[in-house]
Amino acid sequence: MVMILGKPAPLLFGQLLLGIINGSFYAMLSMGLAIIFGLLKIINFAHGAMFMVGAFVTWGLFTYLGVGFWAALICAPVIVGAFGLLLERAFIRPIYKLDILYGLLLTFGMAQVLQGLATNYFGSSGVSYDAPPALSGVLNLGFMYLPVYRGFVVIAAIIICAVTWFAVEKTKLGALLRAATENPSLVQSFGVNVPRLIALTFGGGVALAALAGVLAAPLYSVNPAMGSDLIDTVFAVVVIGGMGSIGGAILTGFGLGIIEGFTDVFYPPGSAVVVFVVMAVVLLGRPAGLFGKVA
């Protein structure tokens, strides 16, 4: 058997793949968080709950309406994004001008309510959702076997992250969003409906979390705690990448997923905390994060 750094090659490549898959979800979720914080200055602690809601909506669309995975990729983010718009209008908008701590506490409460409702209705064990038949099976790459669906998740995450980054950072719409949050009065004087633009930004960030939930549904058990299990790590990713840095969140998400995977090979007890160790080291050397702007 081929050995690399004293470890069997299939084990090493398997953990690398697992790290990239975890990193894909870290990147997608932290990107949505970075968009909402970077543009709206809201620390959305309910982001993990929206990820969970997206997975349950996917399961519900299939179970009750017979809607398949491919249609759910569009329908679930739209439904959860619309739910996010309602939350923004009813609860988030009144606190935009208050200290960011209010937003954190409010969204933390929202997350607890959503998770509690899901637990009461579905139970703590959750439900299962199978991958579509077209993405079942494995590919023999010669040095390892790659489950087709896991490969699809990685490619989809890269495309979603690249398209979102380009839309926010390199288009006129993204420039308008940034201008609306930095100087809303000036932008509104040009006839732009700034409150609607901000609401759509929040809804878009929530829809990204739901899209990640759709992709996660066939990989993990769809359960009420699936968002809360990830949210601590996702917040660490955003802090390491730089609060509000979308590109930093994406690169850090994938990077930390790989580091976590390799740590699980060489020192398994450390895999659960390595992300937070990296966060502590980065904050000591660069408090604004790796890609954050120093004030």
Radius of gyration of the chain from its Cα atoms, rounded to whole angstroms:
19
pLDDT in tens, 225-255: 998 888 889 989 999 998 878 889 999 999 9
Q: Residue 1's pLDDT is what?
A: 67
Q: What is the pLDDT of residue 228?
A: 87
pLDDT tens track for 241-291: 988 788 899 999 999 999 998 898 889 888 889 999 999 999 999 988 898
The reported pLDDT for the residue numbered 192 is 78
The gap from C-alpha 235 to its chain's centroid, in whole angstroms, comes to 10
| pLDDT over 70 percentage in the chain | 98
The pLDDT of residue 294: 65
How many residues are recorded in the chain? 295
Question: Whole-angstrom Cα distance, residue 230 to residue 226?
Answer: 7
Average pLDDT value for the chain:
88
3-state secondary structure of 230: helix
Q: Which of 14-18, 19-23, 146-150, 284-288 has the lowest mean pLDDT?
A: 14-18
pLDDT single digits (tens) 150-162 = 999 999 999 999 9
Q: What is the mean pLDDT of residues 162-168?
A: 91
**pLDDT tens-digit readout, 78-92:** 999 999 999 999 998
Taking residues 24-42, report their average pLDDT: 85
Q: Where are the alpha helices (DSSP H) in the chain?
A: 9-40, 47-65, 69-87, 100-122, 148-169, 172-182, 184-188, 194-216, 228-241, 246-266, 274-285
Q: What sign has the CA pseudo-torsion 116, 51, 199, 41?
A: positive
Q: How many CB atoms lie within 10 A of CB 173?
A: 11
Crossing angle of helices 246-266 and 9-40, in 10° steps, is 150
Rounded average pLDDT over 205-234: 91
